[in-house]
Amino acid sequence: AQKVTQAQTEISVVEKEDVTLDCVYETRDTTYYLFWYKQPPSGELVFLIRRNSFDEQNEISGRYSWNFQKSTSSFNFTITASQVVDSAVYFCALKGYYGGSQGNLIFGKGTKLSVKP
Amino acid sequence: ETGVTQTPRHLVMGMTNKKSLKCEQHLGHNAMYWYKQSAKKPLELMFVYNFKEQTENNSVPSRFSPECPNSSHLFLHLHTLQPEDSALYLCASSQDRRATSTDTQYFGPGTRLTVL
């Protein structure tokens, strides 16, 4: 089955701290796609990154970085020098085609990040 | 960024009312989606349209009725809802559901629905 686990329900940090959000996935697909979305209090899910299964190169975008490790089925997200504006719920998602999932996004339950000044 | 818009942003309705949610995308996409987000539950996919054709209905009760008149607009018609239908309803769009390697969904701000 396809599954995404975000074990951290809530994380609270103080501004300027680094924070890592964990994401572990399960799939039998050989080709699949992983995503991170940010949901601020306004409600909209904001797309952050898409990574395909055959590209394990880590990515950095400003204060954001992603570590994809196929060996451990993990796709972790790190925010460096966190800011209050980073406070949101972050969702990891998997897209695959095994078992009739038809390429739908399978979302984790999300991690609520609170960054305090 | 106003690629996907949703109206209304908030809606309160009684169980006997009929209302509609509207979604519009300005990204030139061909696929549109409705999701339901309830408290403490994962996002649930409800309906998928690709090139105006419904390609997926995830066993959604008939009191929810989608409509996709063109690739830019998606509606969700609501009728005789229950209090447990109260949730955030999110619309999303993507280029083409069949384009597996590049297809990314972009979401609207959602409609917060409360059923009394």
- Option in A50, A91, A107 nearest B104 (CB): A50
By C-alpha distance, the chain A residue nearest B88 is: A43
Question: What is the chain B residue with the closest CA to A105?
Answer: B45
Q: How far apart are CA A92 and CA A35, in angstroms?
A: 6
pLDDT at A49: 93
Is the pLDDT reported for residue B1 higher than 60? Answer: no
| pLDDT band (50, 70, 90) for residue A100 | low
d(CA A38, CA B40): 16
Q: How many CB atoms lie within 10 A of CB A29?
A: 15
| C-alpha to C-alpha distances, A80 to A10, A51, B34, nearest whole angstrom | 18, 20, 33
- Residues B42, A108: C-beta atoms closer than 8 Å: yes
Six-digit token pair at B104? 């990314």
Residues A17-71: tens digit of each pLDDT: 999 999 999 998 888 999 999 999 988 999 999 998 988 888 889 999 999 999 9
Residue A98: per-residue pLDDT: 63
> Which residues of chain A does B108 touch, with a Cβ-Cβ cutoff of 8 Å?
44
Taking CB atoms and an 8 Å limit, are A43 and B105 in contact across chains?
no
Phi and psi torsions of B51, nearest 5°: 50, 45
C-alpha to C-alpha distance for A56 and A75, rounded to whole angstroms: 10
**B86 near B114, Cβ under 8 Å?**
yes
Residue A115: what pLDDT? 97
